[in-house]
Structure 1
Amino acid sequence: MFGLIGHLTNLSHAQRVARDLGYDEYACQDLEFWCMAPPQAVDEITITSVTGQVIHGQYVESCFLPEMLAQGKFKTAMRKVLNAMALVQKRGIDITALGGFSSIIFENFSLEKLLNVRDITLDIRRFTTGNTHTAYILSQQVEQGAARYGIDLHRATVAVVGATGDIGSGVCRWLTRHSGPKELLLVARDYERLERLQQELGSGTILPVEEALSRADIVVWVASLNQGMAIDPATLRTPCLLIDGGYPKNMAGALQRPGVYVLDGGMVEHSLDIDWKIMSFLNVPNPARQFFACFAESMLLEFEGLHFNFSWGRNYITVEKMEQIGSLSRKHGFRPLLEISGAGSEPVIQ
């Protein structure tokens, strides 16, 4: 059985979903209550591969909210995700993906010091961040999205914002080896890490975000929450493909300009309907089939009986592992989401 650990986008969203799921005691509470609320297993999932194989899983709501990070409650956030991990392990789940910020908060912590959670010693091999599959899907959205929206990738300038993160560095490695853009722009806060990445890649131009956005034909935005900024659509090239790999995804509404195409980055679409209800609470056009690539990683590992932490830590994503998970993704009927965010199949942002 596979598991998914996730969280909702903000307090008001969490209150609304709690009410819809019948958790009335959660529905009217403030952030302090959510800081104390225990994780809950709230959904049973059945998914069928295009091969005919059927697997089952569970979704666990961590009750973590991004506002906790914004208010500096890092220990609270970490504790909530650890408690959710302990819950899925108690339930005997074989492989579980950590969604959204559930995985990000572990990039700068030593896990070996955090594995004892009450009466449980976490078996870290039962958990995967899902970042390798996310990096693969983002790379496919660059390649396939460029072709779909009239951008010659081999003549294009691609900017990766958040290039030194786990997912961003994986995307940079893929683009350098496979995609062959004319120029790759590397954007992140830590200049020393950028220099190390540039040296590893053997290419790439380090630029501040404002300059990179004005030069890029394609932007892959995978920066973390505290790197967020307002983007002036007038500074973007036309056409410009912007792949929003953040969570929550909120760029499409702010970039309403013809010729600027915003994709929900790191999202997949399955070939068959999935029996679940949790995605119906999120803003996706087709919740029966569309969801996060990180979640799909645990499904792929369950389909293949690969019950180990395929993705973990920071900057361990290799092109070879992206190729491996990409092959499994195609085998079981997943494909990158290429429709413009909020616009169905329309060719421009409305």
Structure 2
Amino acid sequence: MFGLIGHLTSLEHAQAVAHRLGYPEYGDQGLEFWCMAPPQIVDDIVVTSVTGKTIYGKYIESCFLPEMLASQRVKAATRKIINAMAHAQKHDIDITALGGFSSIIFENFDLEKMSHVRNVDLDFQRFTTGNTHTAYVICQQIEHAAPQVGIDLSQATIAVCGATGDIGSAVCRWLDACLEVKDLLLVARNRDRLNELQTELGRGKILPLEEALPLADIVVWVASMPKGVELDPQTLKNPSLMIDGGYPKNMATKLQHPGIHVLNGGIVEHSLDIDWKIMEIVSMDVPSRQMFACFAEAMLLEFEGWHTNFSWGRNQITVEKMKQIGQASLKHGFQPLLLGM
């Protein structure tokens, strides 16, 4: 059995979803209540591969909200993720994906040191961040969406914003090894990590965001946009492709301009309908088939019987592992979301 650990985008979103899922006692409560609310299994999932194999899973709502980080309730945020993982393990779930901010919190706050939760000793082999599949899907979106908007990759400049993160560094490795692109721009906050990545790749120009954006034909966003930064469509190339790999995905509402194409990054579509409710509440266009690639990774690991932490740790994703999970993705009927043109 596979599991998905997720969270909602805001307190307002959480309150609305709680009412929708039949938890009115959660729906009328404020942030303090959500800081104390325990994890809940709120959905049972049935997925059938195009090979004919059927698997079963559960969606675990962690009750984490981004406001907990913004309001300096870091201990509450970290406790949410660890408790949700323990909840999954207690229910004998073999492999569980950490979705959204869950994996970021786990890595940034070194939660692996918190292996004992009440009466549960966490077995980290049972958990995956899903980042390998996410990185693979974003790379496929680059390759297949660029021609949709008239961009020739062999002549293209690609900026990766968040290049030193787990997903961003994997995307850079794939672009360097598997695609012929003219220039690669590396954008991130930590200069030391940028230098290390540039040395590893043997290529790539390190630039601040404001200098990189006007030069890029394709911008891959796998980091939150810095506060105070406004995107001026007049300064961007036309045509250009913006792949929004963040969460929540809101770039399409900020950039509405002819010639600037925004694609929700790291989203896949399954070939067959999935029996679940949870994707309806995160505004997927086709909730019976579309999902975050990190969630799909848990399904792929269950389909293949790879009950291990396939994606784990920072900057450990290799091109070989991306190809491995990519092959499984295609085998079981998952396709990267592309532009609806």
TM-score (norm 2): 0.98
Looking at structure 2, the residues matched to 235 and 29 of structure 1 have their Cα atoms a distance apart, in angstroms, of: 43
Looking at structure 2, the residues matched to 311 and 206 of structure 1 have their Cα atoms a distance apart, in angstroms, of: 26
Q: Which amino acid is 1:308 matched to?
A: T
Looking at structure 1, the residues matched to 74 and 103 of structure 2 have their Cα atoms a distance apart, in angstroms, of: 13
Contact 1:153 1:181 in 2 (8 A): yes
TM-score (norm 1): 0.96
1:158 corresponding residue in structure 2: 158
Change (3 A) 1:314 1:250: same
Note if 1:180 corresponds to 2:192: no
2:86 corresponding residue in structure 1: 86
Looking at structure 1, the residues matched to 161 and 196 of structure 2 have their Cα atoms a distance apart, in angstroms, of: 16
Note if 1:171 corresponds to 2:151: no
Output one character per residue of 1:244-286: Cα deviation in whole Å (capped at 9) or x when no partner: 0000000001101000000000000000000000001111110
Output one character per residue of 1:122-160: Cα deviation in whole Å (capped at 9) or x when no partner: 000000000000000001111111122210001000000
Output one character per residue of 1:219-254: Cα deviation in whole Å (capped at 9) or x when no partner: 000014766843122211000000000000000011
Change (3 A) 1:68 1:134: same
In the TM superposition, what is the alpha-carbon distance from 1:175 to its structure 2 partner? 0.3
Output one character per residue of 1:99-124: Cα deviation in whole Å (capped at 9) or x when no partner: 00000012233344201001100000
2:12 corresponding residue in structure 1: 12
Say which SS state the counterpart of residue 108 (structure 2) adopts. Answer: coil
Q: Which amino acid is 1:107 matched to?
A: E
Residues paired across the two proteins, number:
341
Q: Which amino acid is 1:35 matched to?
A: C
1:143 corresponding residue in structure 2: 143
Q: Which amino acid is 1:208 matched to?
A: P
Looking at structure 2, the residues matched to 229 and 317 of structure 1 have their Cα atoms a distance apart, in angstroms, of: 30
Contact 2:5 2:96 in 1 (8 A): yes
Looking at structure 1, the residues matched to 229 and 35 of structure 2 have their Cα atoms a distance apart, in angstroms, of: 26
Give 1:108-257 correspondences, 5 Å limit. Answer: 108-224=108-224, 229-257=229-257
2:35 corresponding residue in structure 1: 35
1:342 corresponding residue in structure 2: none
Output one character per residue of 1:146-199: Cα deviation in whole Å (capped at 9) or x when no partner: 122210001000000000000000000000001121000000000110000000
1:302 corresponding residue in structure 2: 302
User: For structure 2, which runs of at least 5 residues remain unmatched after alignment?
Assistant: none
Q: Which amino acid is 1:131 matched to?
A: N
Contact 1:70 1:226 in 2 (8 A): no
The CA RMSD measured in Å over matched residues stands at 1.1
Q: Which amino acid is 2:130 matched to?
A: G
Looking at structure 2, the residues matched to 229 and 325 of structure 1 have their Cα atoms a distance apart, in angstroms, of: 35
Note if 1:75 corresponds to 2:71: no
Say which SS state the counterpart of residue 64 (structure 2) adopts. Answer: coil
Identity of aligned residues (%): 68
